[in-house]
Structure 1
Amino acid sequence: MSTIYSRIEQGRTADAVVRQIEALILEGVLRDGDRLPGERELAARMNVSRPILRDALKALEGRGLLVSRQGGGTHVADVVGEVFTEPMRALIASHPKATADYLEYRREIEAVAAEMAARRATEADKALLADIIQRMEHAHATADFATEVEIDVEFHHAVGECAHNFVLLHTLRSCYRLLADGVFYNRARIYDLPGAREALLAQHSAIFRAIRDGDPAAARKASVDHIAYVEKASAQAERTGEWERVAGLRLRQRMEKNTQSARSRGRLAGTKRPAQAGS
């Protein structure tokens, strides 16, 4: 059976188990919230005794890398965490310049990630990206909007993984958590813009092809072009949203005025006396 855990053939100690699980977390193979196999199964996969495994898991829990949930097994802890506290997130969301700064940051760091991925991506990395693009295309073709938006973030996560740089990987994961939470801009609103879904699919495909073909310059350019488009689209979506808000207020005001006028006409008609015949 295929497994991410390798057998420890020599020096079967708790430290050896700790080092292997640490590496899986550091390399991004094990992610926040991932559940480890049960004790019996994991001990067998790693070729260690259950007491040794227990000691290792206890040590990893003590360092905050794993958490045990009663009745729910052992999971990878939230090692990435929040970049900003909730008050800071609320503050950022209320200031438009924060969105511009966030996209500027993404433009630079994703360009580096895509360039490194084009140099370092393995065949397994390319197969993963190909699968993501295929699912993205299917979601696009079937108008599965919600899935298409979710796969957008998954794709950028995968590009970061293909760069094979620990610090870059976890920095990007933290960055994309803010993206997934919609702190800076509404991705759904961008996808609603005319032609946006087609443009975004083409941009993601261009990044993938450059990485697949091992072309660092093309990968960097495709990534920069993508964020430039997102910057422009987010500004347009914000303007469109503001236009819709103002238009809605105008419509509501006119409907209220029309209702008031109709009521006034009704009251006047009810109080008007009929004309008397003769003189």
Structure 2
Amino acid sequence: MNTIYSRIEHARTADAVVRQIEGLILEGVLRDGDRLPGERELASQMDVSRPILRDALKALEGRGLLVTRQGGGTYVANIVGEVFAKPMRELIATHAKATADYLEYRREIEAVAAEMAARRATEADKALLGGIIARMEHAHATADFETEVEIDAEFHNAVGECAHNFVLLHTLRSCYRLLADGVFYSRARIYDLPGAREELLSQHRAIFLAIRDGDPTAARLAAVAHIAYVEKASAEAERTGEWERIAKLRLHQRSAERTGRRQTRRPAAAGS
């Protein structure tokens, strides 16, 4: 049976179990919210006694790495957390410069991630990225817009994983969480722009191909070009959204004016 957990060959102690699970969390194999196998199954996979496993899980839970949920089950805790507290998120959401700074930051950090991924990605990493791109292409071909947006975020997370630097990985995950929470620009609105879906798919392919081919320079350039496009599209989407808001106000006003004119003419007609 395939499993991410491995047999503990020598000292079968709670510390050895703790170190293995810590490593899986640190390297991003286990993510926030992932459920661990049941006690019996996990003890069997790691080849340790259930009392040793219980001690290890209790220690990890005490350190805030695991959490036991009501109804049963042990899960990876939300260890990435929030970059900013709620008051700061609400503050930056109302200032355009925050979005510009966020995209500038992403442009630099994703360029590094893509370059490192092109140098370090294993065959398994490349297979993972290839599978994500295939699903992205299928969602695009079937006009499954919501899935395409979800896979967009999954792809960027996977590139961070392929860089094999756990500090970079968890920094990126925290960064993308802000985006998923809608603190900055709307990915959905960008995807609605004419030609945007085709352009974004092409950019994601370019990043993948550079990583697959082990070309760090091309990977960096593709990542930078992608975020540069997102910057431009974000500004355009913002303008388009404002234009739509104003157009709706005008339409509402004209409709109200026509209704008012019809109402003022009716009494005159009745009295003639």
TM-score (norm 2): 0.99
Identity %, equivalent residues: 82
SS class of match (2:11): coil
Listed as ranges, the matches of 1:75-154 within 5 Å are 75-154=75-154
Partner in structure 2 of residue 73 of structure 1: 73
What displacement does 1:70 show? 2.5
1:236 maps to 2:236:
yes
Partner in structure 2 of residue 54 of structure 1: 54
Tell me, in whole angstroms, the C-alpha distance in 2 between the residues paired with 1:235 and 1:71: 46
What displacement does 1:270 show? 1.6
What displacement does 1:72 show? 2.7
- For 1:76, the aligned partner's letter is V
SS class of match (2:210): helix
SS class of match (1:251): helix
- For 1:63, the aligned partner's letter is R
Tell me, in whole angstroms, the C-alpha distance in 1 between the residues paired with 2:9 and 2:126: 31
Listed as ranges, the matches of 1:139-218 within 5 Å are 139-218=139-218
What displacement does 1:36 show? 0.2
Instruction: Encode CA deviations 1:126-149: one digit per residue, 9 max, x unaligned.
Output: 000000000000000000000000
Tell me, in whole angstroms, the C-alpha distance in 1 between the residues paired with 2:128 and 2:231: 27
Tell me, in whole angstroms, the C-alpha distance in 1 between the residues paired with 2:77 and 2:34: 8
Tell me, in whole angstroms, the C-alpha distance in 2 between the residues paired with 1:70 and 1:219: 44
Partner in structure 2 of residue 18 of structure 1: 18
Tell me, in whole angstroms, the C-alpha distance in 2 between the residues paired with 1:38 and 1:70: 15
What displacement does 1:269 show? 1.1
Tell me, in whole angstroms, the C-alpha distance in 2 between the residues paired with 1:180 and 1:223: 19
Instruction: Encode CA deviations 1:62-120: one digit per residue, 9 max, x unaligned.
Output: 00000011223100000000111111111111111100000000000000000000000
What displacement does 1:267 show? 1.6
Tell me, in whole angstroms, the C-alpha distance in 1 between the residues paired with 2:113 and 2:230: 17
SS class of match (2:79): coil
Moved more, 76-85 or 63-72: 63-72
What displacement does 1:14 show? 0.2
Tell me, in whole angstroms, the C-alpha distance in 1 between the residues paired with 2:271 and 2:65: 80
Gaps in structure 1 of 5+ consecutive residues: 273-279
- For 2:233, the aligned partner's letter is A
- For 2:109, the aligned partner's letter is I
Instruction: Encode CA deviations 1:195-254: one digit per residue, 9 max, x unaligned.
Output: 000000000000000000000000000000000000000000000000000000001000
SS class of match (1:34): coil
SS class of match (1:155): helix
Tell me, in whole angstroms, the C-alpha distance in 1 between the residues paired with 2:167 and 2:271: 80
Runs of 4+ in 1 over 3 A off after TM superposition: none
What displacement does 1:181 show? 1.5
Indicate the RMSD between aligned Cα atoms, in angstroms.
Answer: 0.5
Tell me, in whole angstroms, the C-alpha distance in 2 between the residues paired with 1:89 and 1:83: 9
Partner in structure 2 of residue 261 of structure 1: 261
- For 2:236, the aligned partner's letter is Q
- For 1:103, the aligned partner's letter is L
What displacement does 1:60 show? 0.2
Tell me, in whole angstroms, the C-alpha distance in 2 between the residues paired with 1:43 and 1:95: 51
Moved more, 250-259 or 176-185: 176-185
What displacement does 1:179 show? 1.2
Q: How many residues align?
A: 272
Partner in structure 1 of residue 41 of structure 2: 41
Tell me, in whole angstroms, the C-alpha distance in 1 between the residues paired with 2:190 and 2:136: 16
